[in-house]
Structure 1
Amino acid sequence: MHPDETRQAAVVAFLSDPSAYGGDAPVEVVTTHSAHVFLAGSLAFKIKRAVRYSYLDFSTLQARKGVLERELALNAPAAPEIYDRVVAVTREAGGSLALEGAGPAVEYALRMHRFPREAELSRIADGGGLTTDLARRLGTAVAAYHAEAERRSADGAALIGEIVEELREALGGMGEVLGRGRVNAFLEAAGRAFADAAPCLEQRAAAGFVRRCHGDLHLRNLVLIGGRVVPFDALEFDERLGTCDVFYDFAFLLMDLLHRDARVQANAALNSYLQAAGDLGGLAALPLFMALRAAIRAMVAVQAMAGNGSAGAAREARDYLELAAACLAPAPPRLVAVGGLSGTGKTTVAARAAPYLAPRPGAVHLRSDVERKALFGADPLAHLPAEGYRPEVNAEVYARLLDRAERVLRAGHSAVVDATFLAAEYRDAVRALADRLGVPFDGIWLHGDPAELERRIEARTNDASDADADVLHAQIRRGADPADWTRISCGGTEDEVAGRVKAALLPE
């Protein structure tokens, strides 16, 4: 026990006793490197341990009170269902301790409302319940969190440069566990990636993308409450560590999903985040950001081995470093266009293919129906009148799609563009974009039985497409069947169609 903690022993004993809360149910105590948490009925109380480390100092009562107040201020806006207030543990006249008594404060605690542990996103993921729909809600929730985050004036490149140097120093002494060659190769790749990304990071900081973020945004710090994804337990003890590019904050979550082999969910979260935030500029730095997050986890895993030499921790550390290296591995982008009549399942196919296109966590999925609604400032599920489908509007929708695709490709990421592509001019335009940027192009043309397509359209619910049977019949009369695109039948199950498309794009 840290010497300063001896004075806390009586408080810990008091808060561990059910009588402190007026009950007799056992109190569960969770101790971390910097806090004690007491789970009592429907409430939880957290006190900071009276410890002093190289990166934090909670050795004084005022410091502990201040950091609890900061934790409340950071978390309560996003998680009002959890965070309540800071309360005092007081010394009463007879010498006994009390919660919010009349005597002087001897400790401070953060009072919170408990939630079921099975509602934690990490537990949901462990149980196989992290669906693509939930992953999309996850990305949207993080985008909303970042939209409210306070902007900071820090230099984005300097912040990341400090992390690169910290890793260079720390990992340099971990070669025995991680492998000297692997460490050196990663550090060299990270140095190159940082040098390439530095101008982008500076520009993003100037544009307001460096903010007071969550700082510790992984699945264990996200919970599902009433169907809403709620971030909690933001990093509170170091303002500089909590200040970063919003994409670096988001990268922790994406890396965590990739580490769990949840590639499809990571791609779904990425695409929903991009749609909600409209921030394509962070893609250029995303491989570096995810690599740094994974390398930090490798470093922490090695540090956790101190004193016990756990083989499991060593294996986990090597896995994280392997992921970090994979994120930085060269992976040229490509452009894929998915076209066909309404009802052929273009959006489903595009979403199913996107996670498997390099680089990690997969391609950005761009959809004409969503871009059309955005053009009119409408919700994706809103129905547009016929005026929204005039030829000049179609031209603008395709221009927006190709502009966004170009930005994605120039950032080094693959793009999947999902639209009917009935007009030859739009098919020519998307291929010309790939040729101009020097990236591979694949055109996928879905086709199927018209009667089946009509049944699918009539069965749609909660979809951004406004196409109905009349639209389908008009498309059929117009006709389009490009000979230079790969024709794939949309008949069968979603898995079967997705398998055909994946085989065409990623042949063994």
Structure 2
Amino acid sequence: MGHFSFLEEKKNMDQSELLKAMQDPVFYPEHPSRVEILKTHISTLFVTDRFVYKVKKPVNFGFLDFTGLSARKFFCEQEVLLNQRLSPNVYLDVVEIRKTGIGFTLAPGGAAVEYAVKMRRLPKDRMMDVLLQEGGIREETIREIALLLIGFHSRAHTDPEIAIYGSPQRISKNTEENFSQSESFVGACVSPEAYHRISDFTRRFIEQHAPLLRKRMQENKIRDGHGDIRMEHICIEDPIVIFDCVEFNRRFRYIDVASDLAFLAMDLDFHEARGLSRHLVRTYVDYTHDLDLLKLIRFYKCYRAYVRGKVESFNYNDIYTSDEERKAALASAQAYFTLADSYASSKPYLMIMTGLTGAGKTSVAEPLSRELNAALFQSDRIRKELAGIPLEEHRFESFDQGIYSPEFTRRNYQTLMQKAEETLKKEQSVILDATFLKRDDRMRACRIAEQIGVPFFIIEVTCPEQEVERRLSLRLQQAGVPSDGRWDIYQAQKQIAEPVTEVPTENYIRIDSSEKGDVVSRAEKEILFAVEA
């Protein structure tokens, strides 16, 4: 096995004799009718009629070390303790296994030679992965899971020591360990090109988002979480049970809540349930108002997919697995690495503002560009630059006259489009701030996005007329404002404005700038959700 410590394993009891004994129903006090065996890269599970007995393998992967008996006992105890948080009444006890003259037993007396976690057997037909295959997972179930996780994360312990694990340095330690431990699988499980794309994306993301990661630490978003929330660890009972948290290494459990959520979102993506994945993330963000989570979710989904690819690579490299199991593990590893690569292949996006003069387009576009790190090009500024006049100089010309004539407006929009295309090709997102009242102008922008292959959004800003009139009156009295918008211009624009019907609803965001609350955050959430979730 990739990072198996054979030398250390020899210091411990050979488990093969014990594992063979545990396959016999006679071994168990309840005398089950049969025993089913399941294996992971770190444990062997014996499934009886009513219970599951889980024995940890004496392995050392670097990130975990079960080679000593005392370590296996300790982590069995930790597993029972930590899983009480989301799966009470499932983890029952740590049982001692002893050796007698005639074999192994769970009966008392003598020194323990091994330990096992005893669990209540959960109904297989209620497991989330099984139900998904049968079409039994609905949005309401996803909502219940999201709310369960919100409650869990709000109660999960945090302190300065835990918060440190959310630092850019600690996150880099985890990701670099992944790349180091999977390097030997490049070529077989993951292509060299994908390996480098994923590693480059990961390092670049951590560097560029270091301030955000530190902000998450300060906001107590780093918690003692679960660490391994996948569908096969969720049982849809009443109440829902989420089990098998990470007990073997706290740095995989002391994580950003976004990372915890991302594992399940990635798992749903992997099983071609992207709609449910998006519903999970949207529900979580809608209830927690954690907008920054959307800026991190794709990064953490990439990380989680890569972790699963690495684990399946370990299984593929396990000399104790059958050829059929190795073949399945290889296919699974390749699929996970492919998914991670898709998350790493990020694209910029093009957003255009639309709306009548005075509606508040610029008041939305400017802060939105800062939050999304997008280049902002404004028609009011470009128009005056083309005319060679100072930005603060007003030109109160009639509608469709002078620098607002159809020909000058055409030049203005052409310049906007050129700047957008040049910037998008440099892989930076763009916001175009103009009225975009005509469908043809909006479609020109849409075609640029299609040609470059980036997402396209239309953000329409509206406002009640009484408020628009008040704003335009105040604007005329303000110095340094490039816009020449006036009430008569607003009335004229109303007559020619064409409704937005040319893009799908998920690419069209309509906001009223006069509403209470943070309308910019609302637009940001919809865009981030569409692009990142």
Question: 1:144-181 deviations in whole A, cap 9, x for unaligned?
Answer: 22222221132421222113322443455444233323
Matches within 5 A, 1:72-471: 72-90=80-98, 97-151=104-158, 152-156=162-166, 157-177=168-188, 178-226=190-238, 228-306=239-317, 313-332=329-348, 410=371, 435=433, 440-443=457-460
Change (3 A) 1:51 1:501: closer
* Corresponding pairs, count: 376
CA contact (8 A) 2:56 2:72 kept: yes
What SS class does the counterpart of residue 56 from structure 1 fall into? coil
TM-score by length of 1: 0.64
Distance 1:21-1:434 versus aligned 2 partners, 3 A rule: farther
Partners of 1:253 and 1:276 in 2: CA distance: 18
Q: Which residue type is aligned with residue 371 of structure 2?
A: R
Listed as ranges, the gaps of 5+ residues in structure 2 are: 1-5, 354-359, 375-430, 435-444, 446-455, 463-494, 510-529
Q: CA deviation at 1:68?
A: 0.6
CA-to-aligned-CA distance 1:2-21 (integer Å, 9 cap, x gap) = 53564545543443332322
Structure 1 residues 273 and 190, CA, compared in 2 at 3 Å: closer, same or farther?
A: same
State whether residues 434 and 441 of structure 1, in contact with CA within 8 Å, keep that contact through their aligned partners in structure 2.
no
| Aligned-residue CA RMSD (Å) | 4.0
- Unaligned 5+ runs, structure 1: 338-398, 414-432, 446-480, 489-498
The alpha carbon displacement at 1:45 in A equals 1.8
Give secondary structure in 1 for the equivalent of 2:85: coil
Q: Is the 8 A contact 2:54 2:118 kept in 1?
A: yes
Deviations 1:311-330 (A, max 9, x none): 65555444333322322333
Normalised TM-score (structure 2): 0.61
- 2:384 is aligned to none
Deviation of 1:140 after TM superposition, in Å, equals: 1.9
Q: Distance in 1 between matches of 2:180 and 2:203?
A: 13
Displacement of 1:74 after TM fit? 0.9
- What's the secondary structure of 1:176's corresponding residue? coil
Counterpart Cα distance in 1 of 2:496 and 2:74 = 66
Structure 1's consecutive aligned runs of 4 or more residues displaced over 6 angstroms after TM superposition are 334-337, 406-409, 502-506
8 A contact 1:210–1:243 mirrored in 2: yes
Q: Is the 8 A contact 1:444 1:486 kept in 2?
A: no
Residue identity opposite 1:441 in structure 2: I
Identity in percent:
24
Q: Which has the larger radius of gyration?
A: 2
TM-fit CA distance, 1:272: 1.3
**Shift in Å at residue 282 of structure 1?**
2.1
Write out per-residue CA displacement over residues 103-134 of structure 1, whole angstroms, 9 at most, x where no aligned residue: 44333222211111121111112222222222
Matched with 1:36 is 44
Q: Distance in 2 between matches of 1:262 and 1:59?
A: 38
Q: Residues of 2 paired with 1:503 and 1:300: CA distance?
A: 37
The SS at the match of 1:57 is coil
Q: Is 1:486–2:478 an aligned residue pair?
A: no
Q: Distance in 1 between matches of 2:231 and 2:369?
A: 26
SS at match of 2:53: strand
- Secondary structure of residue in 2 paired with 1:236: coil
Tell me the amino acid that sits aligned with residue 272 of structure 1.
Answer: T
Per-residue CA shift, 1:340-375, capped at 9, x if unaligned? xxxxxxxxxxxxxxxxxxxxxxxxxxxxxxxxxxxx
Amino acid at match of 1:65: K
| Closer/same/farther in 2, CA of residues 333 and 119 from structure 1, 3 Å limit | farther
